[in-house]
Structure 1
Amino acid sequence: MTRIAVYPGSFDPLTRGHLDILQRSLGLFDKVIIGVAVNSNKALLFSIEERIDFIREATEGWANLEIDTFEGLTVDYCKKRGAKSIIRGLRAVTDFDYEYAISLMNRKLAPEVETIFLMSSNDYSFVSSTIVKEVARHGRDVSAQVPEHVSKALLNKLSKGK
């Protein structure tokens, strides 16, 4: 039996923290599907195509990885794809409170799908897409927090708005 997990998120933009969680989860599962969520309630900076391209370029050559998009509830997507686990990264206690509530609801909706929490590495415990966008919005270098190609795209997109 193949152990499949879904690592869902908006990845707007993809950070080195996301990549750290992804790489570590690949060691735990036979296959990890990065599920780029289509979320109309979020104000997104990058299109779904741009976000997928960022992930594809950053993970080129990584085995047992699939990139996909989905709408709706993550547990429904997991059931559709045959995944028994949802991967979530935790940076701090505030992440845990939010993610724990979601995991309890997911368990009610799909008891066969487990949520697996992975703690962020120390190097990325403060990194969030929101913070990265804010720093880049002020013209500051974020290449330590995101892959180089993402950093360039961020600065390019945000400088056009000025």
Structure 2
Amino acid sequence: MPQPHTAVYTGSFDPVTLGHLHVIERASRLFDKLIIGIGINADKKPLFDPQERVALLENVTHDFSNVCVEVFSGLAVDFVRSVDANIMVRGIRPLTDTAGEFTMMMANHQLDPSIETVFLMADERFAHISSSLLKQIAMLSDDDEQLAKFVPLKIIPELRSKLRS
């Protein structure tokens, strides 16, 4: 039987943004255990490989004692089940994510009605942040202070290194 106070937050996290980190921080206060599931999408060419994303997420979440990071492939609902959870956490940005996330929630509910989805609305400071936007800024700006408005300071060296290669 699933643990009632374990939640799973899935995404590509390529790379982790301040928006992701804000959702992680809030969800870690709501649930006894939060598992961050890094999804593998064979159709996408990620900037960071799965193990690099694990390392980046572990680096920025190490202060949260109830958070762990795992990689998965396949359906998110299958991953949620595999870790004995029944709650999915989704961060949404106003307007841009709502329709897609609602559709995904309904599909997940059809696949497994026992899994509930909890939406956490992005704080207005982070509502505009996307991985593609921050990659663009990182490529065009050498100013780490500007980039730190979008990603955790701890990952800026790895992000810059990856974009240079």
Does structure 2 conserve the Cα–Cα contact (< 8 Å) formed by 1:35 and 1:70?
yes
The residue aligned with 1:71 is 73
Give per-residue Cα distances to partners, 1:43-97, cap 9 Å, x unaligned. Answer: 2001111111111111113111111111000001111111111111011212011
In 1, the alpha carbon distance for the partners of 2:60 and 2:96 equals 28
Task: For residues 11-59 of structure 1, give each alpha carbon's deviation from its aligned partner in whole angstroms, at most 9, with x where no partner exists.
Answer: 0000111010011011111111000111111120011111111111111
Give the TM-score normalised by the residue count of structure 1: 0.94
Distance 1:89 1:36 in 2: 14
Output the CA distance in 2 between the equivalents of 1:154 and 1:85.
Answer: 31
Corresponding residue for residue 159 of structure 2 = 154
Preserved contact between residue 4 and residue 85 of structure 2 (Cα < 8 Å): no
Identity of aligned residues (%): 36
TM-score (norm: length of structure 2): 0.92
User: Distance between the aligned counterparts of 2:25 and 2:155, measured in 1?
Assistant: 18
Q: Which aligned segments of 4 or more residues in structure 1 are displaced greater than 2 angstroms?
A: none
Aligned residues: 160
Give the CA deviation at 1:2. 4.4
- 1:99, 1:39 → 2: CA distance? 17
Per the TM alignment, residue 140 of structure 1 is displaced from its structure 2 partner at its CA by 4.4
Is the 2:58–2:68 Cα contact (8 Å) retained in structure 1?
Answer: no
Provide the C-alpha distance between the structure 1 equivalents of 2:45 and 2:133, rounded to a whole number of angstroms: 14
Q: Does 1:11 align with 2:16?
A: no
Give the match for residue 105 of structure 1: 107
**Runs (5+) with no aligned partner, structure 1:** none
1:5–1:86 CA contact under 8 A, matched in 2:
yes
Deviates more, 1:136-145 or 1:59-68: 136-145
Report the CA distance between 1:139 and its aligned residue.
3.1
Superposition map of 1:14-25 within 5 A? 14-25=16-27
Deviates more, 1:87-96 or 1:150-159: 150-159
Query: 2:44 & 2:7 partners in 1: Cα distance?
Result: 24
Deviations along 1:82-126, one digit per CA (max 9) or x if unpaired, are 111111101121201111000000000000001111001111111
Unaligned runs of 5+ in 2: none
Indicate the RMSD between aligned Cα atoms, in angstroms.
1.2
The answer to which of 79-88 and 99-108 deviates more is 79-88
Q: 2:160 is matched by which residue type in structure 1? A: L
Whole-Å separation in 2 of the counterparts to 1:121 and 1:6: 20
CA contact (8 A) 1:139 1:155 kept: no
Partners of 1:26 and 1:62 in 2: CA distance:
7
SS in structure 2 at match of 1:11: coil
Match of 2:29 among 20, 27, 37: 27
